[in-house]
Chains A and B, each alone.
Chain A
Amino acid sequence: MPYVEKFKGPKALNGKEFTYCPGCHHGIIHRLVAEVIDELGIQGKTLMVSPVGCSVFGYEFFELDGTVAAHGRAPAVATGMKRATPDKVVFTYQGDGDLAAIGTAEIIHAANRGEKITTIFVNNAIYGMTGGQMAPTTLLGMKTTTSPYGRRAEVEGHPIHMSEVIKELDGVAYLARTKVNTPMDVKKTKAAIKKAFEAQLNGDGFGMVEILSTCPTNWGVSPVEANKWLEENLVKEYPLGTFIDKVGEAK
């Protein structure tokens, strides 16, 4: 009988089944974060701050000490935690509603202070958990339950480009925008996540990866169509790239 290695998940995940919808990228992104934590050998000293939003259960899936912050406040919670125990690795995991709406102040100031934390920012251009309302990142013309006529710049304002805003802040050591809808993108995203953690481990400053992501459920399309929609629409509004890479430059 040929030797078949049993499929094993990363150690930083506890193997609980994800509760995300079929085709949702949260699961892929969780796995990438866990693989990076394994590869960096930091599982025993990493503290996770989960958000409010679909990934509120993130802390349940990771085999790490974890907490759930109030909506949008994860960067402040992580700041308090990191300053209290600077030898630990602290990361936040946040959606666009969490990071780009209610928590705008907290993310901007944590990034600007050069807080030695890592932020995984999952941008699916919509509020997933609460049932598909408009997010600050919702595209113009995009219909959501609270922009039923399609988002209009003159009424609902423009989509906000958080990476482009955060890129202007001097405390940022690593900042990239990626996606995970193809195998190649998955590899690139993992490399970016690793760098964002390395920025923290080296003491370089704040690290963030914005990951364009799908919400097939609230976009009202199939998982395959969602990947396509992301490629054709989200990427146009939110260009991919590495905005800042000062990893290894501290001291």
Chain B
Amino acid sequence: MAEKVMVKGTEAIGEAAIRAGCRLYYGYPITPQSELTEYMARRLPEVEGTFLQAESEVAAVNMIYGAACTGRRVFTSTSSPGFSLMQEGVSYIAGAELPAVFVNVVRGGPGLGDIQPGQCDYFQATKGGGHGDYRMVVYGPESLQEAVELTSKAFDVADKYRVVSMLLADGLLGQMMEPVEFPDFVDLNTLPDHSSWAMTGNEGREAHKVTSFNIDPYGLEEMNERYQATYKKIIENEQMHEEYMLEDADVVIVAYGTIGRIAKSVAKMAREQGIKAGVFRPITLWPYPYEALSKFTDQAKLFFTVEMSAGQMVEDVKLSVNGKKPVEFYGRMGGVVPTPTEILNKLKELV
């Protein structure tokens, strides 16, 4: 571990990807993450990597698919409208059981929306988006340090299970500057060996066929059963969350990403005013830490979800709470970031 350095969010994620052993980036510019694309354009040649600006997000994701077929670590980043365009490719990558890492720096939507930070792509990220029964591992970092660590994790998890993993960030995270401690560069020779399935040329072995395709419904059902078995393992092993001042909390504020971070200030302010609040911050948004959250249904009087959306994660909170306690919601839309004070005022109204 090196000393702490001051960096910008988008650059922190790019550098983390390179340190995680990724040498391939194909992407297309879109605010508020274009600096990440620019960083990779500048940085990858310095480490003998490959950067290519695609003609569209549709092309970028398919380039990622092609590179992932060769078994190498691949990476792209985009923002909401761009990720919508990538859904076709994400579904194919998931179906072909290829490892790949995506970053979606979410902005206000729907449609062209604006370029301010949003959390309104939660459904798209955690419930699908592309066609077919597939899942992505989705991480919601709250800080640059966490984003850096989760970037490494995203590559490891993608490689381990041969799935798509994604950092669901927002414009706040992308634009902020913070001191970060980067991990060391991964030795490229120690990366997982994908030679048993990857397309590397069939010199001296049987040909490898890497596809999401099977015209026989029984064959395709078998493939789907294999996907689901993988997802089950991920659910069992990869859930992450943070508990903050929850030991004695009456109110569980549930929030992820940068709003999770703001929620911690809210909990502190609430406690100063005599409300025993704490924060449950899911770090993996899929697999969602349902059980960990449901443990608070006996203790807490109220669950309070805060999001920069119309209330998308609130559905997962309700699933965890399963009707045992009230679940309230507060959110802002259109790229508006709620302030700690307005969240606290809403909380005070509720208790």
Nearest-neighbour CB distance to chain A for B233, whole angstroms, equals 25
Given contacts A44-B203, A47-B199, A88-B200, contact A73 B58 (CB under 8 A): yes
Nearest-neighbour CB distance to chain A for B262, whole angstroms, equals 38
Write out, one digit per residue, whether chain A residues 25-66 have a CB within 8 A of any chain B CB (1) or not (0).
Answer: 000000000000000000111110110000010011011111
Given contacts A70-B88, A109-B59, contact A76 B66 (CB under 8 A): yes
**Chain A contacts for B310, CB-based, 8 A:** none
B66 close to A44 (CB less than 8 A): no
Given contacts A63-B207, A68-B212, contact A76 B63 (CB under 8 A): yes
B211 in the interface (beta carbon within 8 A)? yes
Residue ID in chain B nearest A66 by CB atoms = B209
B240 in the interface (beta carbon within 8 A)? no
CA distance in complex: A82, B52 (Å):
12
Q: Among A43, A60, A63, A79, point to the contact of B66 (Cβ < 8 A).
A: A79
Nearest-neighbour CB distance to chain A for B49, whole angstroms, equals 10
CA distance in complex: A44, B92 (Å):
26
Given contacts A68-B211, A84-B24, contact A76 B201 (CB under 8 A): no
Write out, one digit per residue, whether chain A residues 69-100 have a CB within 8 A of any chain B CB (1) or not (0).
Answer: 11001001111111111001000000000000
B213 close to A56 (CB less than 8 A): yes
Q: Among B96, B201, B209, B213, point to the contact of A88 (Cβ < 8 A).
A: B201
B207 close to A65 (CB less than 8 A): yes
**Chain B contacts for A59, CB-based, 8 A:** 209, 211
- Of B69, B72, B92, B96, chain A has the most CB atoms within 10 Å of the CB of B69
- Of B60, B72, B199, chain A has the most CB atoms within 10 Å of the CB of B199
**Chain A contacts for B50, CB-based, 8 A:** 83-84
CA distance in complex: A83, B67 (Å):
8
**Chain A contacts for B199, CB-based, 8 A:** 47, 65-67, 81
Q: Among B60, B92, B201, point to the contact of A46 (Cβ < 8 A).
A: B201
**Chain B contacts for A105, CB-based, 8 A:** 55-56, 58-59
Write out, one digit per residue, whether chain B residues 56-78 have a CB within 8 A of any chain A CB (1) or not (0).
Answer: 10111011111111101010000
Given contacts A46-B201, A81-B199, A84-B72, contact A66 B59 (CB under 8 A): no
Nearest-neighbour CB distance to chain A for B76, whole angstroms, equals 10
Residue ID in chain A nearest B55 by CB atoms = A109
A156 in the interface (beta carbon within 8 A)? no
Residue ID in chain A nearest B213 by CB atoms = A68
B210 in the interface (beta carbon within 8 A)? yes
B70 close to A76 (CB less than 8 A): no
Write out, one digit per residue, whether chain B residues 12-28 have a CB within 8 A of any chain A CB (1) or not (0).
Answer: 00000000000010100
**Chain B contacts for A73, CB-based, 8 A:** 58-59, 62, 65, 88-89
Interface size on B, as a range, is 35 or more
CA distance in complex: A85, B52 (Å):
14
A64 close to B58 (CB less than 8 A): no
A106 in the interface (beta carbon within 8 A)? yes
Q: Among B67, B89, B92, point to the contact of A81 (Cβ < 8 A).
A: B67
Count, chain A residues at interface, CB 8 A: 35
Write out, one digit per residue, whether chain A residues 129-140 have a CB within 8 A of any chain B CB (1) or not (0).
Answer: 000000000000
Nearest-neighbour CB distance to chain B for A82, whole angstroms, equals 8
Nearest-neighbour CB distance to chain B for A111, whole angstroms, equals 11
Given contacts A66-B210, A83-B50, contact A76 B203 (CB under 8 A): no
**Chain A contacts for B24, CB-based, 8 A:** 80, 83-84
Write out, one digit per residue, whether chain B residues 168-207 have a CB within 8 A of any chain A CB (1) or not (0).
Answer: 0000000000000000000000000000000111111001
Q: Which residues in window 54-112 of B have CB below 8 A to A?
A: 54-56, 58-60, 62-70, 72, 74, 88-89, 92, 96
**Chain B contacts for A66, CB-based, 8 A:** 199, 207-211
A83 close to B63 (CB less than 8 A): yes
A60 close to B209 (CB less than 8 A): yes
**Chain B contacts for A84, CB-based, 8 A:** 24, 50, 66-67, 70, 72, 74
CA distance in complex: A133, B174 (Å):
46
Residue ID in chain A nearest B201 by CB atoms = A45
B66 close to A77 (CB less than 8 A): yes
Q: Among A56, A64, A76, point to the contact of B207 (Cβ < 8 A).
A: A64
CA distance in complex: A194, B213 (Å):
29
Nearest-neighbour CB distance to chain A for B134, whole angstroms, equals 14
- Of A14, A67, A83, chain B has the most CB atoms within 10 Å of the CB of A67
Residue ID in chain A nearest B66 by CB atoms = A80
Residue ID in chain B nearest A86 by CB atoms = B50
B66 close to A78 (CB less than 8 A): yes
Nearest-neighbour CB distance to chain A for B205, whole angstroms, equals 9
B89 close to A62 (CB less than 8 A): no
Nearest-neighbour CB distance to chain A for B129, whole angstroms, equals 15
Contacts A/B (CB < 8 Å), 16 sampled: A44-B201, A50-B211, A62-B207, A67-B199, A68-B213, A70-B89, A77-B65, A77-B66, A79-B52, A80-B64, A80-B66, A83-B50, A84-B67, A84-B70, A84-B74, A85-B70
Instruction: Kindly list 6 other residue pairs between chains A and B, CB separation below 8 angstroms, not including A66-B207, A83-B24, A105-B55.
Output: A65-B209, A66-B211, A73-B59, A77-B69, A79-B63, A84-B67
Which residue numbers of B lie inside 8 Å of A, CB to CB? 24, 26, 50, 52, 54-56, 58-60, 62-70, 72, 74, 88-89, 92, 96, 199-204, 207-213
Which residue numbers of A lie inside 8 Å of B, CB to CB? 14, 43-47, 49-50, 56, 59-60, 62-70, 73, 76-85, 88, 105-106, 109
